Every structure is written in C-alpha cells, then in structure tokens.
Amino acid sequence: MEINNIVDRLEALIATSVRVPATQKTFLDSRKVQELMDQLRLAVPQDIQAAEEILGSKEEILNQAEVERRKIKAQAEEEFRSRLDQTEVMKEAQKKSSEMIQEAEHKAHKVLSQSQLEARTQKAEIDTYAAKTLRNLERQLNSNLTSIRNGLALLSGLETMEVVATGSHSLSNNN
C-alpha cells in the first residue's frame, strides 16, 4: 500500500536527519516532512478507493448468481414445455420442473448468502487493516511532532517537553 511506503520514507528521513549532540533530538527538514504529509493526504483516499473496488466485486458475484438462477430456471421451464404433450409424462415433468426450480432457487439463495458473507468478511478485514494502518500512522506522526516541537523549543531556548520512556511528560527549563 502507498501509505506504508510513505511511512517508510518518513522513518528514513528521521533516521538520516542530523541529531542534536547529547540529546535524543533530531533536526528534520520541514519541507521534506510537509511533502510526505501531503503525499499521505493523497494516499489515504486511494487506499480507500482500492477497498471500495474490492467491495464492488460483491455486486459482480451477486449478478453472476442471478444470471445462473435465471439460466437454470429457463432450462427447467423449457423442459417443462417440451413435455406438455405427453399425458403421463406431463405430471412427472411438472413435478420435476418444480423440483428443479426449487433447487435452482435454493442454489441461487445459497450462492447469494455465501457472496454476502464473503463481502461482509472482506469489508471487516479492510476496515481492520485501515484502522490498524491509521493507528500506526497516528503514533508515528505524534512521535515526529513531539520531536519537531522539542527541536524547535531547544533552538529557541524555551521550555521543552521531554518524553520519558514511560510515556509521561515532564517540563524542564533549558536556560
């Protein structure tokens, strides 16, 4: 997916950026970071469109099931009409035709149910993947934003927020 590629490039930018000596801070090229952010904004709709195309295949499966049902039904009706002239066979043909129609409708219903189940499963998987990707992106962006803010604060001699390994924040004065 395009989002993963962009996140990889963002990580590479962080890894190759200049580090501030005696700190865990890094100077980032804001132009490059902004470029990657713009690319992320464009990539998310493309990934969503790809997911919608997958869901679109659901309609194709349902249409195929409907065509098959109609085909089987038409064949059953044709066979029924061809046997109408025969008296004894007529009753048997009616019975068989009815069974075939029921069987065709049962098969069509089964295919339709299976298609709907697969479509729901695919949608759930897509939703899970999108949520996971967005959470990872949010964590990475929050980390990057904290690094950027700390770098700016360090440069301006203001109070900086240092992130402690436990995830809590503490303020310290660098003056």
Render each residue's pLDDT in the chain as its tens digit; 175 residues.
688 888 898 899 888 988 888 888 888 888 998 998 888 888 877 767 777 777 778 788 888 889 999 999 999 888 877 776 676 766 777 888 899 999 999 998 999 999 999 999 999 999 999 999 999 999 999 999 999 998 898 998 755 445 443 455 554 544 4
Half-sphere exposure of 17 (CA within 13 A, CB side): 22
**CB neighbour list of residue 41: distance below 8 Å, 6 or more residues apart:** none
Alpha helices in the chain (DSSP H): 2-16, 30-82, 87-156
Q: How far apart are CA 89 and CA 80, in angstroms?
A: 10
Q: How far apart are CA 132 and CA 27, in angstroms?
A: 28
Q: Is residue 108 part of a domain?
A: yes
Q: Is residue 171 part of a domain?
A: no
Question: pTM of the predicted model, to two decimals?
Answer: 0.34
Number of domains in the chain: 1
Q: How far apart are CA 99 and CA 147, in angstroms?
A: 71
- Count CB-CB contacts under 10 A for residue 10: 22
- Residues 159 and 153 sit within 8 Å (Cβ to Cβ): yes
State whether residue 161 is helix, strand or coil: strand
Q: Is residue 169 part of a domain?
A: no
Domain extent at residue 114: 2-14+25-151
Q: Is residue 8 part of a domain?
A: yes
Q: What pLDDT score was predicted for residue 160?
A: 41
Q: What pLDDT score was predicted for residue 85?
A: 65
Q: Is residue 158 part of a domain?
A: no
Q: What pLDDT score was predicted for residue 166?
A: 41
What six digits make up the tokens of 150? 């700390």
- Residues 28 and 17 sit within 8 Å (Cβ to Cβ): yes
Q: Is residue 174 part of a domain?
A: no
